[in-house]
Amino acid sequence: METQRQTFLSRLFGARETGLVLIILALFLIMTFASPHFLTWTNMRAMTMAFSVEAIVVVGMTILLISGGIDLSVGSVTALAMVVAGLLFLNGMDPWLASLIAILVCAGVGAIMGFFVTYVGLHHFIVSLAAMVIARGLCLLGTGGRPLGLFELPENFKWIGIGSIGVIPVAIIIFVLFVAVFDFLLRRTTAFRLVYYTGSNEKAAAYSGIRTKRVIFLTTVLCSTLCGVAGIIYMARFGSAQPTFGVGMELNVIAAAVIGGASLSGGKGTILGAILGAILLSLVSSSLALLNVSVYWQDIIRGSILLAAVTFDHYLVKRQAMGGRA
């Protein structure tokens, strides 16, 4: 019994998620004393709203990273969803139908990227970089580089972006549902376990009968689809479609996933860890803003956190490889 308790504790305190929780709690404690405005409902709500919708994209990116891929186009594809839905709405289409079409367009972008990765044989990095530029160009072309004012969006549609159930914003509820569903699927379902097998060793997974190309294709489509969902919620929240929205989002999303334990080499990561990474980054940004730190320093600090997380991940991968050879 004692041995089982020690094993449980060693797992608990050795987990990346536990370390992140402790860091978040420590930062919460420090900021509570550092700023009287930190631990207020207004700030907590604003901070949660700031990362909740982007965290939906983090879910897709985490699953894609586990499969061994990466997507640099998430910010541009999110903006594309806003622009497509906004243009369709301004031309008389029902906003819900316009949103569905926009999400399908984003899924189509993911399918095109998946095709070039799995069947043409190009690297995810290059394909998604090209998709990032093309999607952003389409946004600017479709809007003439100007934001689309969507002031006539119906209230029942804007509800998903700015509405609340009780005191809890609807956007946060949607975010929690996505996290809960995909965390369960990754942990408990056979189909999503194939993502881990593919990312750990694609060749070995293929030899064992797993259709690895299909897994990579579908995870690429899923990531772009979730970008579409996030874009629609952003459109409902802001009441506009901004062609320049999401610039730099890929940095935040990848950083959150890697900080949470996802490996750029594939085969590792959890949804819970990635969300904790997103919470940590949001907490850092909010804390720096409350302490009147320049926004330019915020970018430097976020980039440094990403570099530290990737370095740590590289160290762990190298250490495991050396242990395997031993």
Q: State how far the Cα of 250 lies from the Cα of 230, in Å rounded to an integer.
A: 13
Residue 6, token pair as written in the block: 């020690």
Q: State how far the Cα of 196 lies from the Cα of 215, in Å rounded to an integer.
A: 10
Residues 6+ apart with CB under 8 A from 137: none
Q: State how far the Cα of 104 lies from the Cα of 50, in Å rounded to an integer.
A: 25
Averaged pLDDT score across all residues of the chain:
88
Q: State how far the Cα of 77 lies from the Cα of 325, in Å rounded to an integer.
A: 42
Looking at residue 14, its pLDDT comes to 47
Phi, psi of 202 (to 5 degrees): -60, -40
Decide: 246 and 78 in contact? Cβ < 8 Å.
Answer: yes
Looking at residue 324, its pLDDT comes to 56
Among 17-31, 150-164, 189-203, where is mean pLDDT lowest? Answer: 17-31
Question: Quick one: residue 266, left, alpha or beta (phi over 0 = left, psi -120 to 50 = alpha)?
Answer: left
Decide: 313 and 263 in contact? Cβ < 8 Å.
Answer: yes
Decide: 102 and 228 in contact? Cβ < 8 Å.
Answer: yes
Looking at residue 13, its pLDDT comes to 43
Per-residue pLDDT at 152 exceeds 80: yes
Phi, psi of 73 (to 5 degrees): -95, 5
pTM above 0.85, yes or no: yes
Amino acid making up residue 228: G
Decide: 83 and 243 in contact? Cβ < 8 Å.
Answer: yes
pLDDT in tens, 209-247: 999 999 999 999 999 999 999 999 999 999 999 999 999
Among 90-99, 176-185, 214-223, 296-305, where is mean pLDDT lowest? Answer: 296-305
- Per-residue confidence at 68, pLDDT binned at 50, 70, 90? very high
